[in-house]
A and B are shown apart, each in its own frame.
Chain A
Amino acid sequence: MRIAATAALFAGSVLFQAPFGRLHAQTAPKPLRIPIEQYKLDNGLRIVFSEDHSAPTYGISITYNVGSHNEHAGRTGFAHLFEHMMYEGSENVGKGEHMILVENNGGDMNGSTTEDRTNYFESFASNQLDLGLFLEADRMRSLAVNQANLDNQRNAVQEERRQSVDNQPYGVTSEVLQGLIYDNFANKHSVIGSMQDLNAATIQDVQEFFRIYYAPNNAVLTLVGDFQPADALAKIKKYFGAIPAQPAPPAPDLAEPKQTAERSKTIEDPFAQVPRLDIAFKAPPGNTNDVYALDVLSTVLGGGQSSPLYQSLVKEKELAVNVFCYIEEHKGPSTFNVVVLARPGKDLKEVEKVVIAELEKAKSEPIPDWELQKVHMMERHQTAQELQSTLYRAYIIGEMASIYGDPNLINTRFDKIQNVGKEDIERVAKTYLTQENRTVVTTLPKPKAETAQKGAN
C-alpha cells in the first residue's frame, strides 16, 4: 500500500502560526491584491499565473471564449451540451475517467457555461500539478466522442433542463424575459436551450464546434496557488505546446437595436403559488463605467434588508415577500433587473408603481453618503470572500481574461466600483431606467384545475 510509505509532505502548521496574543491596532484596511503574471505560448494559448504558497493546493481553470452567444438558430443549448462532451473521452482519458481521476486524487472539479464563455476547472493538492494540466491538455488536443456518448449526455443535459427549469416554480421566467428583452438571436436565447434543438445536435456539430472554438488561441489557462512558475511553465509547454492553433473564430455580432417602447408579457406557471414580477432594463456591455454605476445603483436600491426596495415593499407597505435587484453582466448588452415576489392578493400594478417610484428617486435625489459607504463595504466583503479559494480565483481570473481580455480585473474591479460617483449614478438612472427601455414579465400561479377532480378523490 502506497500510503503507509508516504511521508507527510506538508504540515498544516505552515498556515496557522501560533497566536502572539498581541493586539493589532485597527490600521488601514488590508488591500485586496493578488499577483498576476501573464505568458503566451506560440500556439496562442494565454496563461495567467497567480502564486500563493499559503496552502499546499492549487486551482486551475481553462476558459474558452465561446458560449451561447456563439450559437446559431436551431442549435440553442449547444455550447453547454458541448461542455458535457468534454468529459466523454480523449486520446488518453476514457469517458468518465476525468471525474474518476480527479476525485480519486482528492480533487474537486466542474465546468460551466454562460452566454460569453465556457470554463473547466479543478483543484488539487499541489503534488498533483501534472494531473490537472494533463487532463485539460489531453481533451483540448484530442477530444474523441462517439454517438452513444453524445446521446448519453444529451439525455443528461435534458434532465438538467427539466431539473433546473421545467420542473421548478418560476423555472421558465428568466428564459421568457431573455427572449422578450433582446431582439438579436445571439442574445435572446437561453444557455440551456430548447429540447428540440438539443435533440437536433449531431456528431458533426460536435466536431465542428471543437475545431473552431476549442483551439489554444481561443483559451486562457489560469493557475493559482502553490506552484513554481518556471516549473509550471515548462509543464504547460510540454502538455499544450504541440496543440495547433486554428484560425481565429468569428466574433458573434451582439449588437442590439435601441428599444423604443416598453415590452411586457404575462405567463402562467404550473408550480408557482405566489405572483412574481420581473422588471428589467437593457444596459451597456459589462466592464464599462455605466455598468459599474448601474451595479452600485442596484446594491443601493436592493442590496440587503436596509435597502429602499426591501424596506418599502416588504416592511412598510407589505406588498411583497421579497425583492432582489442586480445586474446581469455580459460581454454584449447587460441588464438591470428588479425581481419581486409579491404577496398573493396584492395589486401587481401597485407593486410595479412602488418599484418605479424608487427607481425614479435615483434620478432626482442624490444617494445619501451612508448608502454609498454601504455599497463599498458590501463589495469589499464580497470581493474578499471571492478570493478565499484558489479554485474560485482561477475561475474569476480566467473569466475576466477571456471576456474582457484583462485578468487584472480581479484586482481593479473593486476600485472601479469605489470610483463611481453620485453624479454617475444619477446619469445612468436617467439614461437607462426609462419607460421605453423597460421590459416587464409577470409570472402568475396557474389556476388549479383541481376543484373539478376533488369530487373523484
Chain B
Amino acid sequence: MRNNPVRWSLALISTFTISFAQIPVDPGSKAIPLSQVERKNKAPVSDEILRVKIPKPTEITLPNGLTVMVLEDHRLPLVTARLSILGAGALNDPADVPGLANITATMLKEGTRTRSSKQIAEQTEELGAMIGAQAPFASETATFTASGLSDNASQWIALASDILLNPSFPEDELNKLKQRTKIQLQQQRSTAGFLMQERFSRAVYGNHPAAVTSPTLAALDKITPAMLAEWHATRYVPENAILGVAGDITPAQVTQMFSALPAWKAGSSKVALPKATKPASGRQIFLVDRPGSVQTDVEIGNIAINRMDADYVPMVVMDRIVGGGASARLFMNLREVHGYTYGAYSALVARRYAGPWIAEGSMRTDATGGAMTEFMNEINRIRDKPVPEKELEETKRSIVASFALTLERPTELLDYAIALKVYNLPADYWDTYPAKIMAITAEQVQRVARKYIVPDDLQIVAVGDAAKLKPVLDKYGSVQVFDTNGQPKATP
C-alpha cells in the first residue's frame, strides 16, 4: 500500500476548536521582540451558525439485552460496526493480572472453533475487511470493531460474529502473543509518551485501577487459555453491550446479517459504576530521566469530573479557552509568541469515573523553564480573571459551529448516540447541547477553573534530561526522580 510521509504544520487538531486569547505582554521582560499575534478583523465571516440536528439512529433491543443502533449513510459503500462491551475493559482487570482484558481482546482473532489464526487473517483480508478488538487501560470498555465494504458485508459480518462469539484461545498462539507483548513492554519504554502516561496516571489516580497503564511480565506469565475463556464467558455479555452500525446498510440488513447475535447468551448482571476517583491532594512533581532526550514532555493537571457531572459543559468551555486548539491560549502563548514548542494544548478526560484535566506540551530542554512559567501563568489567568466577553462568545461559537462538520462522519454521529446510553444522558441531550454551551457565563468558567484547577494540588510530570531539568523544577516543589524502568532514582 502507498505511504505518503507528510509533515503537518500544526499537529492535527481534533474536530473541536476554540477561540482566541489576547496574550498579555510583559513589558521589559525580554530583550528580543516577541512575535505578536494580531487581529485585523477584515476577513468576510458569515455571522450565521449552521445549527445541526444530530441524526438519531434506529434502535433495537434484542431479547438477550443487546442494544443495536443503526445509522444509515448510503453515500459510500462502507459499513462500520462497533461493539462496545462495558465491563470487559482493562479497568476491570484483576489487580494481580493487569493485561488480562487486553490479551483476551487481542486473542479473539487468533482462533475460533472452526478457524485458525491464519485462516481468520486470510478470510478477513480477502474480503478487504478489518476486524479487531481492544481493551485499553483505564477504560471499562472492550471495543470490538469490524469494518469493510457493503459489497460483501454479509460475509465479513458472519466472520466477525464467529470471532466475537466462538474464540478458542489456542495455547500456541497465546504463547506467541506473550512473546511479542513482552518485547512491546520493553519497546514502549523508549518513548517519552509512554513514560509520561505511566507516571502521570500513577500521580493522579493513586491506588485506583485507572492508574495501571501496562501489563506486567509477571501477569503475562500467569495468563492461561482458561483465564481468557473465563473472561470472555463472563465479561463479553450482550446485556452490557451496545452494537453501533453505521454506513451503507439498512436496519433490516443489520438484523439479517448479524443473525448470530440473538443467540449470544446473556450473562448474570449489569456492570456497576466503577469505583470513584478523587483529586490527588498536595502538589507533587515527578521527573522521569530519559537519557538522550532533547525535549521535555510536560503534563500538569489533576482529577476533575466524570462525564455525568453537571459541571461538564462549563468545563468543556473552560478547556477550549485554555488549550482546545491552535487558537487557544496555550498554543498562542507557548508557540506563537514564545516559540517554545510545536504545540501546547489542554484536555479533559471524563468517563463514568472522574478523570483529569491536563495541560501539556513538548519543548526543547533549555526552554522548559520558560514554558513552565507560561503554563502556570495561563493556569493562574483562567482562575484569577474572568474570561473577556468577546473571547467567551467566540469560544462558544466555535464549539457549536463545529458540529456541522460531524455530519460528514457517520461513526462519530453514532458515538454521540452511544454516549447517551453509556452516560445515562437524556434523549434530547444533543438537541439541547448547543443551547447549554451558549448559556455558559464567564462566571461559570471561572468557577470551574477555580474548583478543578487547584495550584497547590497540581500533579506535574516531566520526562527528559533530569540533570538539566531538576534545577528548573525545584522551584515548583520537591521533585521525585524516576528512571525509564519506572524505578525511583536518588539523584538525576
User: With A110-B10, A326-B2 given, is the CB distance from A103 to B325 under 8 Å?
Assistant: yes
Distance in Å: Cβ of B132 to nearest Cβ of chain A: 10
Question: A96 contacts which chain B residues (CB < 8 A)?
Answer: 37-38, 327, 332, 336
Question: In the complex the two chains form, what is the Cα distance from A315 to B332 in whole Å?
Answer: 48
Smallest CB gap from A376: residue in B:
B128
Which of A191, A270, A299, A457 touches B490 (beta carbons < 8 Å)?
A457
Smallest CB gap from B149: residue in A:
A381
Question: In the complex the two chains form, what is the Cα distance from A113 to B202 in whole Å?
Answer: 38
Question: In the complex the two chains form, what is the Cα distance from A126 to B408 in whole Å?
Answer: 12
Distance in Å: Cβ of B443 to nearest Cβ of chain A: 17
User: With A24-B250, A192-B7, A378-B125 given, is the CB distance from A95 to B35 under 8 Å?
Assistant: yes
Does B250 lie within 8 Å of A20, measured CB to CB? Answer: yes
User: With A19-B252, A84-B9, A378-B125 given, is the CB distance from A152 to B50 under 8 Å?
Assistant: no
Question: A159 contacts which chain B residues (CB < 8 A)?
Answer: 295, 339-342, 362-364
Smallest CB gap from A31: residue in B:
B77
What 0/1 pattern do residues 171 to 187 of A give for CB contact below 8 A with B? 00010000000000000
Distance in Å: Cβ of A174 to nearest Cβ of chain B: 7
What 0/1 pattern do residues 1 to 44 of A give for CB contact below 8 A with B? 11110111111110111011111101001101000000000000
Question: B35 contacts which chain A residues (CB < 8 A)?
Answer: 88, 95, 148-149, 151-153
What 0/1 pattern do residues 7 to 47 of B give for CB contact below 8 A with A? 11110110101111000000000001111111110111111
Question: A128 contacts which chain B residues (CB < 8 A)?
Answer: 45-46
Does B190 lie within 8 Å of A3, measured CB to CB? Answer: no
Any B CB within 8 A of the CB of A343 = yes
What 0/1 pattern do residues 114 to 142 of A give for CB contact below 8 A with B? 10000000011111101100110010000
Which of B12, B72, B335, B408 touches A17 (beta carbons < 8 Å)?
B72
Distance in Å: Cβ of A403 to nearest Cβ of chain B: 11
Does B7 lie within 8 Å of A113, measured CB to CB? Answer: yes
Any B CB within 8 A of the CB of A260 = no
Residue picked from A97, A157, A380, most chain B C-beta under 10 Å = A97
User: With A16-B73, A384-B77 given, is the CB distance from A103 to B1 under 8 Å?
Assistant: no
The stretch that binds A, out of B161-169, B176-184, B452-460, is B176-184
Any A CB within 8 A of the CB of B350 = no
Smallest CB gap from A413: residue in B:
B2
Question: In the complex the two chains form, what is the Cα distance from A202 to B491 in whole Å?
Answer: 43
Question: In the complex the two chains form, what is the Cα distance from A26 to B147 in whole Å?
Answer: 17
User: With A318-B176, A381-B148, A388-B78 given, is the CB distance from A174 to B5 under 8 Å?
Assistant: yes
Smallest CB gap from A19: residue in B:
B251
Question: In the complex the two chains form, what is the Cα distance from A112 to B253 in whole Å?
Answer: 41
Distance in Å: Cβ of B182 to nearest Cβ of chain A: 10
Question: In the complex the two chains form, what is the Cα distance from A290 to B180 in whole Å?
Answer: 35
Distance in Å: Cβ of B130 to nearest Cβ of chain A: 8
Question: A56 contacts which chain B residues (CB < 8 A)?
Answer: 50, 52, 404, 407
Any B CB within 8 A of the CB of A385 = yes
Any B CB within 8 A of the CB of A295 = yes
Question: A242 contacts which chain B residues (CB < 8 A)?
Answer: none
Does A57 lie within 8 Å of B407, measured CB to CB? Answer: yes
The stretch that binds B, out of A207-215, A300-308, A350-358, A434-442, is A300-308
Question: In the complex the two chains form, what is the Cα distance from A384 to B326 in whole Å?
Answer: 30
Any A CB within 8 A of the CB of B198 = no
Any B CB within 8 A of the CB of A167 = yes
Does B4 lie within 8 Å of A114, measured CB to CB? Answer: yes
Does A152 lie within 8 Å of B336, measured CB to CB? Answer: yes
Any A CB within 8 A of the CB of B405 = yes
Smallest CB gap from B324: residue in A:
A103
Does A103 lie within 8 Å of B250, measured CB to CB? Answer: no
The stretch that binds A, out of B261-269, B274-282, B394-402, is B394-402
Does A388 lie within 8 Å of B400, measured CB to CB? Answer: no
Question: A134 contacts which chain B residues (CB < 8 A)?
Answer: 43-44
What 0/1 pattern do residues 206 to 241 of B give for CB contact below 8 A with A? 000000000000000000000000000000000000
Which B residues, 464 to 492, have Cβ-Cβ distances below 8 Å to chain A?
489-491
Count residues on chain B whose CB falls below 8 Å from chain A CBs.
125
Does A103 lie within 8 Å of B18, measured CB to CB? Answer: yes
Does B339 lie within 8 Å of A131, measured CB to CB? Answer: no
What 0/1 pattern do residues 300 to 340 of B give for CB contact below 8 A with A? 00000000000000000000000001110001100111111
Question: In the complex the two chains form, what is the Cα distance from A364 to B183 in whole Å?
Answer: 35
Question: B13 contacts which chain A residues (CB < 8 A)?
Answer: 103, 108-110
Does B409 lie within 8 Å of A106, measured CB to CB? Answer: no
Question: In the complex the two chains form, what is the Cα distance from A48 to B10 in whole Å?
Answer: 25
Question: In the complex the two chains form, what is the Cα distance from A41 to B72 in whole Å?
Answer: 40
User: With A163-B342, A305-B121, A384-B149 given, is the CB distance from A125 to B404 under 8 Å?
Assistant: yes
Smallest CB gap from B38: residue in A:
A94
Distance in Å: Cβ of B454 to nearest Cβ of chain A: 28
Any A CB within 8 A of the CB of B6 = yes
Residue picked from A56, A149, A306, A315, most chain B C-beta under 10 Å = A306
Which A residues, 365 to 379, have Cβ-Cβ distances below 8 Å to chain B?
370, 373-374, 376-379
Question: In the complex the two chains form, what is the Cα distance from A162 to B49 in whole Å?
Answer: 39
The stretch that binds B, out of A248-256, A271-279, A423-431, is A271-279
Does B400 lie within 8 Å of A131, measured CB to CB? Answer: no
Distance in Å: Cβ of B55 to nearest Cβ of chain A: 4
Question: B415 contacts which chain A residues (CB < 8 A)?
Answer: none
Any B CB within 8 A of the CB of A102 = yes
Smallest CB gap from A239: residue in B:
B44
Question: In the complex the two chains form, what is the Cα distance from A380 to B125 in whole Å?
Answer: 12
Any B CB within 8 A of the CB of A285 = no
Count residues on chain A whose CB falls below 8 Å from chain B CBs.
137
Smallest CB gap from B487: residue in A:
A457
Distance in Å: Cβ of B370 to nearest Cβ of chain A: 11
Question: A138 contacts which chain B residues (CB < 8 A)?
Answer: 43
Any A CB within 8 A of the CB of B150 = yes
Question: In the complex the two chains form, what is the Cα distance from A110 to B32 in whole Å?
Answer: 29
Question: A329 contacts which chain B residues (CB < 8 A)?
Answer: 2, 4
Does B438 lie within 8 Å of A311, measured CB to CB? Answer: no
Does B45 lie within 8 Å of A311, measured CB to CB? Answer: no
Which of B42, B122, B335 touches A156 (beta carbons < 8 Å)?
B335
Does B397 lie within 8 Å of A104, measured CB to CB? Answer: yes
Question: In the complex the two chains form, what is the Cα distance from A109 to B14 in whole Å?
Answer: 10
Question: In the complex the two chains form, what is the Cα distance from A314 to B180 in whole Å?
Answer: 9
Question: B126 contacts which chain A residues (CB < 8 A)?
Answer: 306, 370, 373-374, 377
Question: In the complex the two chains form, what is the Cα distance from A4 to B489 in whole Å?
Answer: 58
Distance in Å: Cβ of A365 to nearest Cβ of chain B: 17
Does B327 lie within 8 Å of A377, measured CB to CB? Answer: no
Smallest CB gap from B14: residue in A:
A108
Any B CB within 8 A of the CB of A228 = no
Smallest CB gap from B393: residue in A:
A1
Does A57 lie within 8 Å of B408, measured CB to CB? Answer: yes
Which of A11, A24, A94, A108 touches B253 (beta carbons < 8 Å)?
A24
User: With A127-B50, A327-B1 given, is the CB distance from A380 to B9 under 8 Å?
Assistant: no
Any A CB within 8 A of the CB of B94 = no
User: With A108-B15, A314-B180, A315-B118 given, is the CB distance from A155 to B340 under 8 Å?
Assistant: yes
Any A CB within 8 A of the CB of B382 = no
Residue picked from B37, B191, B404, B407, most chain A C-beta under 10 Å = B404
Distance in Å: Cβ of B444 to nearest Cβ of chain A: 16
Given contacts A92-B40, A163-B295, A385-B78, 11 further A-B contacts (CB under 8 A): A84-B9, A114-B6, A134-B43, A271-B292, A273-B189, A341-B187, A374-B122, A377-B126, A378-B125, A381-B129, A384-B76
Q: Can you identify 28 A-B contacts, CB atoms within 8 angstroms?
A: A2-B48, A2-B49, A3-B400, A16-B72, A30-B76, A93-B40, A95-B36, A95-B38, A99-B325, A99-B331, A106-B50, A107-B401, A108-B17, A108-B405, A130-B44, A135-B43, A153-B339, A155-B340, A274-B187, A295-B2, A304-B121, A306-B125, A318-B179, A326-B1, A327-B3, A370-B122, A374-B125, A388-B408
Q: B residues touching A (Cβ–Cβ < 8 Å)?
A: 1-10, 12-13, 15, 17-20, 32-40, 42-55, 58, 70-73, 75-78, 117-118, 121-122, 124-130, 147-154, 176, 179-180, 183-184, 186-187, 189-192, 248, 250-253, 256, 290-295, 325-327, 331-332, 335-342, 362-364, 393-395, 397-398, 400-405, 407-409, 438, 489-491
